[in-house]
A and B are shown apart, each in its own frame.
Chain A
Amino acid sequence: MSDAALSHEAHAHPPGFAHQFETIEQQREAGQLGMWLFLMTEILFFGGMFTAYTVYRSLHLPAFEAGSRDILEVQFGATNTAVLICSSLTMAMAIHSAHTGKKKGVTMMWLILTMILGLTFLGIKLRFEWYEDYIHHVVPGFGFQYRPEWASLGSQMGQVQMFMCFYFFMTGLHALHMVVGIGILTVLLIMTARNKFSPDYVAPLEISGLYWHFVDIVWIFLFPLLYLIGGRYPH
């Protein structure tokens, strides 16, 4: 270690300060920018699928509408949307309470609430949607069975399976992001319990919050695109 580096190390640093930065403010901004760039990547990642979905929806509209209408159940999609919106609020409140210097118990409560809501979302998805789909043989690759009411689709019937493939792929990838998010929340909970955060240092909470809200936004689009668009009203 050179002398300069040593003198740099010798400064008193706030918790969580990394050596390559000059100030904690610089570090906070770098972290925020990094997360926003990551979210840009995520937008294009999900965007690739949205593009494919848009193209095939315009090519096979009746089949996509039939899949949405006959298989997906709006009440679960709507409930889950509400659950995720609640979790976004509790996440924002967790950051707020840490930022305003509330007792760590308060922050932990909000974090735990967020985790519970996230798990509720996954629970509903698994138990009432994916599991039911499996039971009713509408999972592509796992004994997908065409239903008699789709016979009117004629030759386009096959594309109902394609719709379900997109449905599972998109909601599956979204659910994977939720699982990662809950993992992050667990880490944040432990950090809070160990008094890592103070009103001056909430960067990890803020950055994770951005991620959590982004996952919410993805669902905000998945819900109408998969559950609502076309074919819910009586034909």
Chain B
Amino acid sequence: MAAIFPIQPPAASTIAGGVDQLYYFLTGITLFFTVLIFSIIFYFMIKYRRRSPDEIPPETHAPLALELAWTLIPSAICVVIFFWASYLYVRNSRPPASSTEIFVIGKQWMWHIQHPEGPREINELHVPVNQPIQVTMTSQDVIHGFYIPAFRIKKDVLPGRYTSIWFEADKVGTYHLYCTEYCGTNHSHMIGWVYVMSQSDYAAWLAGGEQNESMSKAGEHLFSVLGCSGCHVAGGDGPPLAGMYGQSQKFADGSTHVVDDTLIRQAIIQPDSVQLPNYKNVMPTFKGQLDEEQMLQLIAYVKSLGPEERKNGQ
């Protein structure tokens, strides 16, 4: 029976368990109140059915205590659900420091996936088990939605911005990948598979696939081809980028932002909008000259220059 009529999706990530517990709790609340209301209605319908056409029932009064009770008890239940759900949500929104990264580009109507080590995939995502993975996503055209039901994660993929989610798969297997934000004619064909592999299988898969240079290597190459390396050096017209990623940075307009993927992207296509103090506004825009994949490679390169390198340098 369960095979042809399953009522539960597979749960294959560390997030899934917490979400399912809340889901069961909510299902319990729903069943309790639905059964309560239905049975009271049926009981009253039978007990107080009209016995003669001109029957006039006695008057009843609404005690304030009762009204308050059924105002306050649902309120209390809602407060509990809110805190429970928000706790999980905030937790599920903060990737662990040990996460490795995978990049996703959505376009009508396929998922383009890029591993930092180099391999690229279409509509397939190979990941190792028991390893937190942060997915950084952007879209080349319209809004898409990246959804892996078995992991209980979902996030829309927007053009012109990076959104990210993370997961840690804890069960080897093959799971669905869907697009859940309607994106045009073949929206329902924008699906794929997630392969969760044991660490050793994953290593073998990485080694056995097509050998591309790693994303940061490709980024480094672009960095010099586009001429970035001419200015972004110590004493150059632009700030040296080593050690900048992930740090708070004060900008010429007085604001402070953390240097993250979206900010680097902005620096590439709108350099003047993230002007640093002590530097002249001389960087040209690279808007329209890079595709989303190259953009991600540049970001991977800047990231590879991350805080560690500064630590080493100092």
Contacts and interface: CB of A to CB of B under 8 A. Distances in A.
Question: Quick check: do A and B touch in the complex, using CB within 8 A?
Answer: yes
Interface of A: 62, 152-156
B270 interface: yes
The prevalent SS among residues of A at the interface is: helix
Given A154-B272, A155-B273, 8 more contacts: A62-B272, A152-B272, A153-B272, A154-B273, A154-B281, A154-B285, A155-B272, A155-B285
Nearest to B285: A155
Contacts of A154: 270-273, 281, 285
State the 7 A-B residue pairs at the shortest beta-carbon distance, nearest first: A154-B272, A155-B285, A155-B270, A155-B287, A154-B285, A155-B269, A156-B270
Contacts of B281: 152, 154
A48 to B, nearest CB: 21
Interface residues of B, number: 8
Interface of B: 269-273, 281, 285, 287
Contacts of A155: 269-273, 285, 287
Most interface-central of B273, B281, B285, B287 (chain A CB within 10 A): B273
Most interface-central of B269, B270, B281 (chain A CB within 10 A): B270
Contacts of A153: 272
A155 B285 CA distance: 6
Nearest to B275: A154
Contacts of B271: 154-155
B237 to A, nearest CB: 15
A152 B271 CA distance: 11
A155 B274 CA distance: 11
Nearest to B272: A154
A62 B272 CA distance: 10
A62 B287 CA distance: 18
A158 to B, nearest CB: 9
Contacts of A62: 272
Contacts of B287: 155
Most interface-central of A153, A154, A156 (chain B CB within 10 A): A154
A177 to B, nearest CB: 35
A61 to B, nearest CB: 9
B126 to A, nearest CB: 37
